[in-house]
Amino acid sequence: MRPGRLIVAGALAALLAGLGCRENVTSPGSCPDLCPAGRVVLVDTVITGIVISDSTFRGYYGPSEAQDLPLADLDSLRSVALVRFGARDSIWYPATNDTAVGIGRVDSVQVRITLANRDTTATHLRILVYHLPAQFDTGMTWAAVQPYLADSQLVDTIKVDSSFTGGDVLWTFKPGAMDVIPDSDAGVVALAFAVTADSRTGLDITSLESATGGPHLEWFVHAKAPRDTLSYGFFVGSSFDTFVFDPPPPPVINALAAGGLPSARSILRLQLPAEAIDSVRVIRATLILTPTRPARGLPKESFLLSARGIVRDLGPKSVIFTDTAAGGTAAVATGDSSEIHIEIGRLLRAWGTTAGDSLPRVVMLIAEPEGAGMVEAAVARRGAGAAAPRLRLTFVRPYPFGVP
């Protein structure tokens, strides 16, 4: 190497050495305070024994409060929806300042129902519509509804195309099926909806409680003579709906339940190590739940199992975070019995902040949307050994600083 190059190389080495980490008390923020004494270490571990108490509470939503109404003829579940519609007017006013005209004849009646979920493998799917007493008992049982599911009470059969997967079904009842409403019923009609297909099946229709609303009727009529050239359409929504089912769901024994109807929630009170509650170092925290049986519901149905943080621990009446992100969710399909993994890292990091330090270390298991049909998950409790709830935690070990 030439002498000139030796001089340049020596100067560069001196410069790099000067840029290295060393103590300099005249330069604030420099080493040794900011010099790492070791490497960043990620730890991935499974923590067991995290639940110190747990309970299941049932009764948050009943069949008449459900968002969906299940129709099923399965071996495991038979169910029928019951719908009472609002009163249909007997007169209308054709124009402003005109005299009222009455109904002379019913031309046709159309029903609209919304399929929220169906078994797409079922062929020749049909919805059977039956007459019910207008003021049927809202607490009617499965046994009590059977006399009304007779051929003599059949209004019509709604055919659902095999390619139709969901949405509004519009059907015009056969002529004469709904011509007369008895005077004693004061314009009110009630109907029962059942399902049948080439194989045993089930589906959900939306209820009065859902965003899309429950079944509707539209009556197309002509006026009485001498004004029988006038026609009109009465649009009538449901005023009450529910469903009855058989057999009743078996009780969940030695397990925590979420979902079903009447709907259940489960509470888990946690005891976690310090490294699990750190707003800075927690990277991921996955709550692992082990089902005690396959998830229940109609064929091809799915739902979300949510682990939500709570603001105040009041048992079944605990105050839940309004922010649904303060927790996590996992998708569960009917018939699935694999482990359920719910990411709750955000909730744990919130517990590690100054504001979250006073919050109870509790999560509530909820099936969402709650009250949507018969979907239900059952998972092992704290005393179930290796199947008990556990936490897979990924975090950063404390990062030391100092002179290298």
Q: What is the pLDDT of residue 119?
A: 84
pLDDT tens digits along 189-230: 999 999 999 999 999 999 999 988 999 999 999 999 999 999
Residue 162 has a pLDDT of 85
pLDDT at 276 (0 to 100):
85
E strands, 86-133, in order: 91-92, 101-118, 125-132
pLDDT of 121:
85
10-residue stretch averages of pLDDT, the chain, 404 residues long: 42 40 48 58 90 94 89 90 95 91 94 91 94 93 95 96 90 92 91 95 92 94 93 95 85 89 93 82 93 89 92 93 83 94 92 83 93 87 96 82 53
Q: Name the CA radius of gyration of the chain, rounded.
A: 32
- What pLDDT is attached to residue 33? 54
Note if the pTM is more than 0.95: no
DSSP-derived secondary structure letter, 361? S
Every domain of the chain and the residues it spans? 42-61+249-396, 78-246
Do the Cβ atoms of 274 and 281 come closer than 8 Å?
no
The pLDDT score that the predictor gives to residue 300 is 78
Cα gap 296→122, rounded to integer Å: 18
User: For the purposes of burial, counting CB atoms within 10 Å of the CB of 167, is it exposed (0-12), middle (13-18) or buried (19 or more)?
Assistant: exposed
DSSP 166: S
pLDDT of residue 323: 77
Task: Report which of 332, 300, 336 is spatially closest to residue 70, judged by C-alpha positions.
Answer: 300
- Which of 347, 343, 321 shows the shortest CA–CA distance to 330? 343
Domain at 42-61+249-396: CATH code: 2.60.120
pLDDT score, position 275: 83
Could you read off the pLDDT of 23-54 as tens digits, one per residue? 444 445 555 555 555 577 888 899 999 999 99
Secondary structure (DSSP) of 172-198? EPPTTTT----GGGTT--EEEEEEE-S
- How much is the pLDDT for 395? 86
Query: Which residues in 254-301 belong to E strands, given as ranges?
Result: 255-259, 264-270, 282-289
End-to-end CA distance of the chain: 34
Task: Please name the residues in contact with 20: beta carbons below 8 A apart, sequence gap of 6 or more.
Answer: none
pLDDT given for residue 35 in this prediction: 56
Residue 121 in contact with residue 299, Cβ under 8 Å? Answer: yes
Under 8 Å CB-to-CB from 378, ≥6 apart: which residues?
252, 255, 256, 257, 291, 292, 293
